[in-house]
Amino acid sequence: MVEVTFVSHRGESRTVNGNEGESVMQVALNNGVPGILADCGGGLACATCHVHIAPDWMDRVGTPDSEEEMMLEMAVDPDENSRLSCQIKLSADIDGLVVNLPASQL
Ligand code: FES
């Protein structure tokens, strides 16, 4: 299992577990984490799974590819730590990941 902590813009945190290979978006939906809407179901077509990766985790999570970057332009208030959570696969390398949820998705 891989642990992910979601922190709301109000500072409330929720830690959940998912299986390797699932996306961060899937683990949020599976556990009823508010703030991940995922309207397109992971098809890289909506940007409603937008998260801000905690700065300490950016190196391990990595940067978006060009297709994800284009979709991130549709997100509200993207920053240099923005990623689409449907594009981040859980693995042992990111066990303990912390992501911050945008205020716009609540
Ligand atoms: S769920 Fe739509 S882009 Fe991630």
Name the DSSP class of 28: H
Is the pLDDT at 105 greater than 80, yes or no?
A: no
- Band (pLDDT 50/70/90 cuts) for residue 104 is confident
pLDDT in tens, 39-74: 999 999 999 999 999 999 999 999 999 999 999 999
**pLDDT, position 34:** 93
The pLDDT assigned to 106 comes to: 66
Of 30, 48, 76, the one to substitute when testing ligand 1's pocket (max ligand atoms within 8 A of C-beta) is 48
Q: For 19-34, what is the mean pLDDT?
A: 97
Place of tokens 């890289």: 44
> Is 97 a residue whose pLDDT tops 90?
yes
Q: Is 4 in the pocket of ligand 1 (CB under 6 A)?
A: no
SS percent in the chain: helix, strand, coil, step 5: 30, 25, 50
Cα separation of 4 and 10, whole Å?
18
Q: How do residues 73-92 score in pLDDT, each as one tens digit?
A: 999 989 999 999 999 999 99
Q: Which atom of ligand 1 is nearest to the CA of 71?
A: 3
Beta-carbon contacts of 83 under 8 Å, excluding residues fewer than 6 positions away, are 50, 51, 52, 53, 61, 64, 68, 72, 99
What is the rounded CA–CA span in Å between residue 82 and residue 35? 14
What kind and span of H or E run contains 50? strand 50-53
Where do the domains of the chain lie, and which CATH numbers do they carry? Answer: 2-105 (3.10.20.30)
